[in-house]
Structures are given as structure tokens and as C-alpha cells.
């Protein structure tokens, strides 16, 4: 006796059915975020997925009120990150080809990454482990993303 199973076609957008198509990685220039970017790049290459590199520019109203050039500083960080990623991509060109895009969002890191993941229709989110001691007590961005439960989240040490 043989069993037959019929598959119904998927209706609308469905995440993660054939492996990730968009892998989002959050970067801020820290060592752990750059390791997360390297890990995500390898995953995107193996899965033939788009690597969406996201930098969330902090909005610091207090610094702006005191006359600090916050926007120029965070714009500079974004430009440095793009340059660093381009150099890394150029080093492995022809050996490892990865499709990638760089996106900048404004806000706090958690909400910025959530917004980015939703807008870019991310199938997976990769972040570096927090290097700040206080996050052990109040929770890191990574822990908050995991608790949100909307995407698979990988935390790279």
C-alpha cells in the first residue's frame, strides 16, 4: 500500500520555504558586529541569499541640544562602515561572490533593526553579541530580537 501526499501551492508571501532569500546583519563598527557581518556574508553566499547590511544611526536629541554634531558623526560612521565592507568584499571578489546592500536606518538599535527586517522582508537576522556589561542586567538588542520571535536570530560572539 502506498500513500500519496499532495502539496498545496503557497498563498502569498511565505518566509523561509526554500532557505533564506534575505539575510539581515546589524553592524555598528564593533568587533562583534564585524564578526557577525563576516558570518552573515558566508551564510548568504552558501544560501545564495541577499545580504542586507544595516547600520542604525542613533538619534541623540540631548547631544544635538548641546550643540554636538551628532548627525555628521553618525553619517561618518556609516560612510566608514560602507568603505570597510567594500574593502572586505573586494578582497574576496572572484573567490566568494556575495550580493549585498547597505542600508541606514535612524533610531535606537532594536527598533531600527526591527523596522529594517520588516521593510526588507528579512528571513533571518544576524547580530553581534553585546560588548557592554550593563546589557547583562537590562537586556541586549540581541535578546530583545530573540524575544520578539519574528525571525530566526543568530548572535555571533
* C-alpha 98: how far from chain center: 15
Of the CA atoms within 13 Å of residue 142, those in its CB half-sphere come to 20
Decide if pLDDT at 54 tops 50.
yes
Q: pLDDT: is 66 or 23 the higher one?
A: 23
Residue range 108-117: average pLDDT?
Answer: 93
Element (H, E) at 15: none
**Spatial separation of the C-alpha atoms in residues 122 and 51, rounded to whole Å:** 9
pLDDT of residue 98: 81
Indicate the pairing of strand 100-106 with strand 50-57.
Answer: parallel
Confidence class for position 5, pLDDT limits 50, 70, 90: very low
> For the chain, what percent of residues have pLDDT higher than 70?
64
Distances (CA, A) of 126 to 58, 64, 67: 19, 30, 34
Domain boundaries defined on the chain: 22-155
Task: Tell me the angle at which helices 109-119 and 141-148 cross, rounded to the nearest 10 degrees.
Answer: 40
Residue range 84-88: average pLDDT?
Answer: 69
User: Which grid coordinates are listed for 42?
Assistant: 558566508
Q: For 72-82, what is each residue's pLDDT tens digit?
A: 666 677 677 76
In CATH, what number does 22-155 get?
3.40.50.620
Decide if pLDDT at 140 tops 50.
yes
Q: pLDDT: is 43 or 69 the higher one?
A: 43
pLDDT of residue 120: 94
**Spatial separation of the C-alpha atoms in residues 101 and 121, rounded to whole Å:** 14
Amino acid at each position: 500500500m502506498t500513500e500519496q501526499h499532495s502539496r498545496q501551492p503557497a498563498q502569498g508571501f511565505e518566509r523561509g520555504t526554500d532557505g533564506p532569500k534575505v539575510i539581515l546583519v546589524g553592524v555598528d563598527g564593533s568587533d562583534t558586529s564585524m564578526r557577525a557581518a563576516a558570518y552573515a556574508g558566508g551564510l548568504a553566499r552558501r544560501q545564495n541569499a541577499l545580504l542586507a547590511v544595516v547600520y542604525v544611526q542613533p538619534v541623540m536629541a540631548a547631544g544635538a541640544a548641546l550643540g554636538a554634531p551628532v548627525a555628521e558623526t553618525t553619517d561618518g560612521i556609516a560612510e566608514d562602515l560602507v568603505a570597510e565592507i567594500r574593502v572586505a568584499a573586494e578582497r574576496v571578489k572572484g573567490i566568494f561572490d556575495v550580493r549585498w546592500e547597505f542600508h541606514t536606518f535612524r533610531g535606537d538599535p532594536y527598533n531600527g533593526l526591527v523596522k529594517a527586517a520588516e521593510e526588507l522582508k528579512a528571513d533571518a537576522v544576524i547580530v553581534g553579541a553585546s560588548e557592554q556589561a550593563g546589557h547583562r542586567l537590562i537586556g541586549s538588542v540581541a535578546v530583545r530580537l530573540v524575544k520578539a520571535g519574528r525571525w530566526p536570530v543568530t548572535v555571533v560572539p
